[in-house]
Amino acid sequence: MPELTFIDAIRAAMADEMAADERVFVLGEDVAQKGGVFLATDGLLAQFGPLRVIDMPIAEAGIVGVAIGAALHGLRPVAEIQFADYLHPAIDQILNEAARFRYRSNGDWSCPIVVRAPFGAGIHGALYHSQSVEALFTSTPGLKVVIPATPYDAKGLLIAAIRDPDPVLFLEHKQLYRSLRGEVPTGSYIVPIGRAEVRRRGSSLSLITYGMMVHACLEAAAQAAVDGIDAEVLDLRTLAPLDVDAILATAHRTGKVLIVHEDNLTGGIGGEIAALIAEHAFESLDAPVRRLAAPDLPATPFSDNLEEFFMLDPHKILAGIRELARY
């Protein structure tokens, strides 16, 4: 099986689906001639032509609104927003329109769009190029929010998103684009939306996480094992709708849960997961549910030491694991 980078897996998903289904097209700022700001759509213009790889004005409401209209007309648009921070000008279109079409029409209409956007910190992007924005979207039923952690999942989940009959926000951690390689099958396959995956089996406690933090958690879990702490790592993969069964199953299994996300603490998805566990797995718990997240700052800071303070890493997670294990 070939090894691909995270971003090559994403590109392969789009290329495969565009080849298989002529309704699929991509649109976004710089996606055609430049091939995307991170080159996720590089080469698609040459392969599929300017009617299916569309350079859009740098106006995000327009990119998403036009994608919605095209989806209503039977197409399968994949819109790229250059950075997740730029989703905000398009929030009206995503939340007020895309997420509501099925509901407002009693299921007569659907809005099968994918909105892809790179998110996350760690590359000194500061205010407008680093945000984790997922919590803004996970509280809107009708919208699906997917965050892959591996190249295999990136391809399989993106294909699933393109084929999904409902709108999907697909967030890609930009630091993984070229730093992560993994085995990715050629040809089409699906990783189902809405299913979490246990990345490491363990019995002492559970780490529930997603995106780039999956890798930080796995590294911390490996170090904790040296101390005899056997941590389970659950990769959520989809944040909306959540895989409630998998979350409760791991809580029941280990009785101790540490939720880890790069998004800031207050209002993050961690609070929702903690509430689910409190409501439905309380009697299995041997300790309070704990959360590790970014501090509640308005934005990611720029300089090295400040960004380091902001970001979680295996060292900070290991400290959290040890503390919870001692409880």
Catalytic residues: 129
Q: Which residue has the tokens 């939306």?
A: 193
Distance separating alpha carbons of residues 127 and 124, to the nearest angstrom: 9
Which of these, 220, 108, 154, lies nearest to 14 by C-alpha position? 154
Instruction: Burial-class residue 100 by CB neighbours within 10 Å (0-12, 13-18, 19+).
Output: middle
Q: Among the candidate windows 247-255, 258-266, 289-297, 302-310, which touches another protein by CB under 8 A?
A: 247-255
State in angstroms the smallest separation of the CB of 117 from another protein.
18
Q: By CB under 8 A, tell whether 56 contacts another protein.
A: yes
State in angstroms the smallest separation of the CB of 119 from another protein.
23
Which residues in 91-152 belong to E strands, given as ranges?
A: 114-119, 144-146
**Binding to another protein in span 65-94, by CB under 8 A:** 65-75, 89, 92-93
Query: How many residues bind another protein, per CB under 8 A?
Result: 52
Applying CB under 8 A, which of residues 157, 205, 281, 325 lies at the interface with another protein?
Answer: 281
Distance separating alpha carbons of residues 298 and 317, to the nearest angstrom: 22
Distance separating alpha carbons of residues 228 and 206, to the nearest angstrom: 14
Q: How many residues does the chain have?
A: 327
Q: Among the candidate windows 28-36, 95-103, 183-191, 218-226, which touches another protein by CB under 8 A?
A: 95-103
Residue 199 · residue 148 · CB < 8 Å? no
**Binding to another protein in span 290-309, by CB under 8 A:** none
Residue 301 · residue 309 · CB < 8 Å? yes
Q: By CB under 8 A, tell whether 139 contacts another protein.
A: no
- Closest to another protein by CB, 142 or 185: 142
> What residues have CB less than 8 Å from 120, skipping those under 6 apart?
84, 130, 131, 132, 173, 174, 175, 211, 212, 262
Q: Among the candidate windows 52-60, 219-227, 294-302, 311-319, which touches another protein by CB under 8 A?
A: 52-60
The count of other CB atoms within 10 Å of the CB of residue 248 is: 17
- Closest to another protein by CB, 39 or 61: 61
Q: SS3 for 114?
A: strand
Q: By CB under 8 A, tell whether 276 contacts another protein.
A: yes
Q: Which residue has the tokens 């740098």?
A: 58
Q: Among the candidate windows 2-10, 181-189, 248-256, 289-297, which touches another protein by CB under 8 A?
A: 248-256
Q: Which two tokens stand for residue 237?
A: 């993969």
State in angstroms the smallest separation of the CB of 179 from another protein.
33
**Binding to another protein in span 8-27, by CB under 8 A:** 25
Task: Give the interface with another protein as residue ranges (CB under 8 A).
Answer: 25, 51-52, 56-57, 59, 61-62, 64-75, 89, 92-93, 96-97, 102-110, 141-142, 144, 164-166, 241, 244-245, 248-249, 252, 276, 279-281, 283-284
